[in-house]
Amino acid sequence: MIKTLLDRNANAAILLAGILAIVVGVGVARFAFTSLLPFMLEDFLSLTYAGILASFNFVGYLAGALFSVFIKDINTKVKYFRVGIILSILTTLVLATTSSEIVWLFSRMIAGFGSAMVLIVGASLVMVKLNLKDKTKAMGIHFSGIGFAIVISELISQYVLSNGTWPDAWLALALFASVASFYVMYILSFDKVLKQDAPRHPFSRSIFSPYVMLLILAYFTEGVGFVVQGTFLPDIINSLEGLKGAGNLGWLIVGIAGIPSSILWMRLAHNYGSVNIIIIAMALQIVGILIPTLSTNIILNLLSGALYGSTFIGLVALFLNYGGQLAGKNPVVLMGAMTAAYGIGQVGAPLYSVALVNYFGNYNITLYVTSFIVFVGIVFLLVAKKLEKEDLNVKRLVK
Q: What is the pLDDT of residue 329?
A: 57
Angle between helices 298-327 and 247-258 (to 10 degrees): 40
Distance CA 242, CA 246 (A): 9
Closest CA to 187 of 22, 14, 2: 14
Q: What is the pLDDT of residue 313?
A: 86
- The single-letter DSSP state of residue 29 is I
Predicted structure pTM score: 0.89
Distance CA 207, CA 328 (A): 9
Sign of the torsion angle spanned by Cα atoms 87, 157, 261, 220: negative
Distance CA 84, CA 119 (A): 9
Neighbouring CB atoms inside 10 A of 136's CB total 12
92, 102, 143, 175, 222 from 86: Cα distances, Å: 10, 21, 21, 12, 29
In residues, how long is the chain?
399
Q: What is the pLDDT of residue 255?
A: 94
Q: What is the pLDDT of residue 386?
A: 87
Residue 193 gets the label, from left (phi > 0), alpha (psi -120 to 50) or beta, of beta
Distance CA 280, CA 322 (A): 15
Q: What is the pLDDT of residue 399?
A: 47
Rg of the chain, C-alpha, whole Å = 20
For the chain, list residues with pLDDT below 50. Answer: 198, 399
Q: What is the pLDDT of residue 7?
A: 87
Distance CA 13, CA 110 (A): 28
The DSSP-derived string for 363-386 is SHHHHHHHHHHHHHHHHHHHHHHH
